């Protein structure tokens, strides 16, 4: 209680001291003229300063202060508190595990994609090779068939001797 009285007396003394200084700077006889002159000079600067302060406060609230999402606590009077993301603590072991699992899944998908591409390429190469072999076989079959037809024709026409004997 005593400290509170001392504090109030100290504040009263500061008030009296500042009022005395104000009276020294602006005597009552010329106070209106001087204040009017100071307001003319300082008003644009004062308005600009207030505008800049308000702009900074708005920017801080909009851009800087709202970077975290807010969540509402349950109850009759809901409380708004910042919601930290799942990966809030960068040194936490579960966070590292989740990141590594994500990376592992992405790498596995990439490896599966590469295997699919390789298998598709090998399948196409085998199909081309098989088509070439089929063409070669068809060509050889055609040549062999033509050769046999030529021999049969020669045999039947008698170019290879008399051929078989005729029956009477």
Q: DSSP string of 26-73?
A: S-TTTHHHHHHHHHHHHHHHHHHHHHHHHHHHHHIIIIITTSSEEEE-
- Mean pLDDT for 6-12 is 82
Number of domains in the chain: 2
Q: Which residue has the higher pLDDT, 102 or 66?
A: 102
Nearest-angstrom CA–CA distance, 24 and 14: 15
In this predicted structure, the answer to whether residue 108 has a pLDDT above a threshold of 80 is: yes
Q: Domain end: 14, 39, 55, which one?
A: 55
- Asked if the structure places residue 64 within a domain, the reply is no
- Asked if the structure places residue 76 within a domain, the reply is no
Domain that holds residue 31: 1-55
- Asked if the structure places residue 136 within a domain, the reply is yes
> What pLDDT score does 114 carry?
96
Is 79:73 a contact under the CB 8 Å cutoff?
Answer: yes
Is 79:72 a contact under the CB 8 Å cutoff?
Answer: yes
Give the H or E element holding residue 81: strand 80-83
- Asked if the structure places residue 32 within a domain, the reply is yes
Q: Domain end: 11, 32, 55, which one?
A: 55
> What pLDDT score does 67 carry?
58
- Asked if the structure places residue 103 within a domain, the reply is no
- Asked if the structure places residue 40 within a domain, the reply is yes
Query: Residue written as tokens 């033509």?
Result: 146
> What pLDDT score does 18 carry?
83
> What pLDDT score does 161 carry?
67
In this predicted structure, the answer to whether residue 129 has a pLDDT above a threshold of 90 is: yes
In this predicted structure, the answer to whether residue 86 has a pLDDT above a threshold of 70 is: no
Tokens of 155: 């045999």
Is 36:26 a contact under the CB 8 Å cutoff?
Answer: no
Q: Domain end: 28, 55, 82, which one?
A: 55
In this predicted structure, the answer to whether residue 85 has a pLDDT above a threshold of 80 is: no
- Mean pLDDT for 100-110 is 96
State if pTM tops 0.75: no
The dihedrals phi and psi of 71, each to the nearest 5 degrees, come to: -125, 155
């Amino acid at each position: 209680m005593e400290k509170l009285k001392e504090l109030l007396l100290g504040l009263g003394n500061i008030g009296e001291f500042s009022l005395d200084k104000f009276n020294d700077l602006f005597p009552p006889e010329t106070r209106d003229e001087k204040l009017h002159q100071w307001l003319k000079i300082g008003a644009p600067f004062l308005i600009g300063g207030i505008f800049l302060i308000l702009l900074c406060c708005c920017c801080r609230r909009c851009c800087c202060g709202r970077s975290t999402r807010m969540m509402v606590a349950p109850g009759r009077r809901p409380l708004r508190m910042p919601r930290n993301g799942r990966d809030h603590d960068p040194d936490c072991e579960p966070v590292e595990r989740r990141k590594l699992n994500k990376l592992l899944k992405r790498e596995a998908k990439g490896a599966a994609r590469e295997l699919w591409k390789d298998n598709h390429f090998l399948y196409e190469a085998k199909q081309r090779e098989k088509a070439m072999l089929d063409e070669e076989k068809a060509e050889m079959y055609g040549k062999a068939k033509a050769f046999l037809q030529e021999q049969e024709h020669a045999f039947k026409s008698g170019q290879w001797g008399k051929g078989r004997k005729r029956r009477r």
